[in-house]
Chain A
Amino acid sequence: MRNFKAVFKRELKSYFESPVAYVFIVIFLLATSGCTFFISRFFETRAATLDPFFIWHPWLYLFLVPAVGMRLWSEERKSGTIELLFTLPITLGQALAGKFMAAWLFIGIALFLTFPMVLTVAYLGSPDYGIIFSSYLGSFLLAGGFLSVTCLFSAMTKNQVISFVLSVVACFAMLMLGVGVFTDFLNGFLPVWLSEAISAFSFFTHYQGFQRGLIDSRDLVYFVSVIFFMLAANALVLERKKAE
C-alpha cells in the first residue's frame, strides 16, 4: 500500500508540476460548457436537466483522455525511468495501479470542476439530483474505461504520438460499437442477437444507462471489468516490452 501511495502521489504531482494539468483542465471546462451552451443550446431547451451537458462527454473524452494517459508508460520507457521504477522494491501491480489511479483521479478533478453547471440548473429550476449524481458517476467510469485503454497503448510504444493516435482509434471503436448508426448498419446483415451482443461491449451503451438515472449493477460490472481487463493486458505488455 505504501508503494502504491508513493507512485500515486508522484504521478499526480507530476501532472500539476507541468503545464499539462492546467491546459487539460481549461480545455475540458471550455469544451464541455461550449458544447452545452452553444451547440446543445442549453438555455433554449428550457429544461432543468444536464442532459445537454453529459451527452458530450464521450466525444470529448475520446480525445482528452488519451491526451492525459498517453505519457503514462511511453515516457517511462523513452526516458529509461522504467528501469529505475522496476528495480525499486515495487511490484508491477502497485506501479500499474498507482499510475492508473493518479491519472483517473486527475480526470476526476477536472470533472468535479464542472460543478458550476449543477449550480446553474439548480438556480434556474429544480433538477433531479439523482440523475445528476448517476450521470456524474457514469461519466467518471467512462473516463476510467477510456483511460485503461490508453494505458494499454501507452505501454506498447515509446512514442507518445503513436500512443495517442492508437488510443483514440481504439476508444473510438469501443464507443462506436453501441452508437445507433453503427448498430443499424450491423442489423442490416447480422441477426439481432449478434448485433446486440456487439453493442453490449460498447462504452456508449453502458454510459447511456447512467444518463437515464439508472445505476445498474451490470453497467458497473462492465466498466470495472473493462478496466481490470485492460490493466491486466497492460501488465503483460509491460512485462514483455519494458526492457526494449
Chain B
Amino acid sequence: MIAVQSLTRHFGSIKAVDNISFTVNKGEILGFLGPNGAGKSTTMKMITTFLPPTSGTATVGGFDVISQPLEARAKIGYLPESSPSYRDMNVFDFLMFAAEVRGYDGDERLKRVKDIMATCNLKEVAFQQIDTLSKGFRQRVGFAQAFLHDPEYLILDEPTDGLDPNQKQEVRNLIRQMGREKCIILSTHILEEVEAVCSRAIIIGEGKIVADGSPEELRSKSKLHGAITLELIGVDRKDALNSLEKVQWVDRVTDLSSEQSSETATGDDSGKKILKLRMFPMSGHSIAQETARFIHQRNWQVDGFAVEKGDLNEVFYNLTKGAAAR
C-alpha cells in the first residue's frame, strides 16, 4: 500500500503540492490527472523519495520515504518524466547497471536483464547506444529499468508521452496486465488513457485534490451524464421541443441541429429533415425509459437514441478551472 499523508511541498512562495492525502492499494491502478504544473510530478517525486517534502510524509509498503528512503526505493519501480537514461551507454550495459544496483549478481543479473529486454521488446537494440534510439525505444528502456526488479509499486510519470498510437496501446496493455498484482500510480493528461487503464482517478489542480473516484464516478459529475441525444426524422421542431420537455424528470431540451451547421439539419436521404435534440435530466434521475415510451406513443421515426455517459474532458475542465479561479 502507498499511503500519502498531508504531503506538502513549497518552492519559494509557491505551494506546488498543498496538503495531499490518499492511499492506493494493491491491484489498483491510480491515474493522476491534472493540467501542467498542477503538482503531479512533484507529488510523484516525493513518493519516490527524490524530493523531500516541506511537510507531511508518505509510506511505501510500510517504509517511510523520509526516514527509510532506501527501503522504500527498493520496493518502487519509477519511470521519471521523459524517461531519462545514461545516453552514452548501450541498452544492455544500462540495464546491467540498474540490475547491479538493484542487488543482482552473476547469472541472476544476466537473466533478469535478458528477461526484461524480451518483455519490453528491446533485444534488437540491445547493443545500440541509447542516444541513437527513437523516442519509443527510449521510453521502453525506461520501462525496462523500472520493471527490472519486479517491484510491488510502480510509479510512472507520463508513461505514454511521445509514443505513437500503437506504442501507446502496447504500453497500456502492459500496465493493465501488471496492475492485477501491483500497485500502480501513473500520471497523464490524456483523459482517454485514464478511462482505458485506470481503476481510479485523482484530479489535482493547483496542488490540491479536486476529485477522487473511479472514472465512471468522475464522469457522472458531468452535466452531460444521463442526457439523451435523440435524432428524429420528419418531426416538427416546435412540437418535439414542447412535448419532450413535459416528459417526466426532464429538465430541459436543446436543439443541437440549430447549434451546429445546417448539414446535420438536412438529412441526405429523401430530403427529410433530421432533428437532433438533447434532453437533460433533473439531477439524479434517469429519463431513458420514459423518453422511449413517449416516442413510442407518438410513433416518431427515430434515427438515433443515445444515453450519454458524461464527458471526462468537461469534468476535468470544470474542476481544474475552478481551482484556478479560487
A residues whose Cβ falls under 8 Å from a Cβ of B? 2-3, 5-7, 9-10, 13-14, 17-18, 79-81, 83-84, 86-91, 242-243
Contacts and interface: CB of A to CB of B under 8 A. Distances in A.
Interface string B42-66: 0001001111000000000000000
A14 B50 contact: no
A80 B89 CA distance: 15
A11 to B, nearest CB: 10
B86 A243 contact: no
A87 B87 CA distance: 18
Contact of A83 (B45, B97, B103): B45
B256 interface: no
B145 interface: yes
B73 A80 contact: no
Contacts of B88: 14, 17-18
B50 A6 contact: no
B169 to A, nearest CB: 26
A5 B48 CA distance: 23
Interface string B71-91: 001101010111011111100
Which secondary structure characterizes the binding site on chain B?
A: loop
Contacts of A87: 48-50, 73, 76, 78, 80
B89 A83 contact: no
A3 B101 contact: yes
Interface of B: 45, 48-51, 70, 73-74, 76, 78, 80-82, 84-89, 93, 97-98, 100-103, 145
B97 A10 contact: yes
Given A80-B80, A81-B85, A84-B84, A243 B51 contact: yes
B286 to A, nearest CB: 47
29 contacts: A2-B100, A3-B101, A5-B100, A6-B97, A6-B100, A6-B101, A7-B101, A10-B86, A10-B97, A13-B93, A14-B89, A17-B88, A80-B81, A80-B82, A80-B84, A83-B50, A84-B80, A84-B84, A87-B48, A87-B49, A87-B73, A87-B78, A87-B80, A88-B73, A89-B70, A89-B101, A89-B103, A90-B101, A242-B50
A79 to B, nearest CB: 6
B45 A84 contact: no
Contacts of A5: 100
A244 B69 CA distance: 20
B86 A89 contact: no
Given A14-B89, A17-B89, A83 B73 contact: no
A84 B70 CA distance: 13
Nearest to B72: A89
Given A5-B100, A89-B102, A91-B70, 8 more contacts: A2-B101, A86-B50, A87-B76, A87-B78, A88-B102, A89-B73, A243-B50, A243-B51
B156 to A, nearest CB: 12
Nearest to A95: B101
Contacts of B85: 81, 84
B89 A10 contact: yes
7 closest A-B pairs by CB: A80-B84, A6-B100, A83-B80, A243-B51, A89-B73, A89-B74, A87-B48
Contacts of A80: 80-82, 84
Contact of A88 (B45, B51, B82, B98): B98
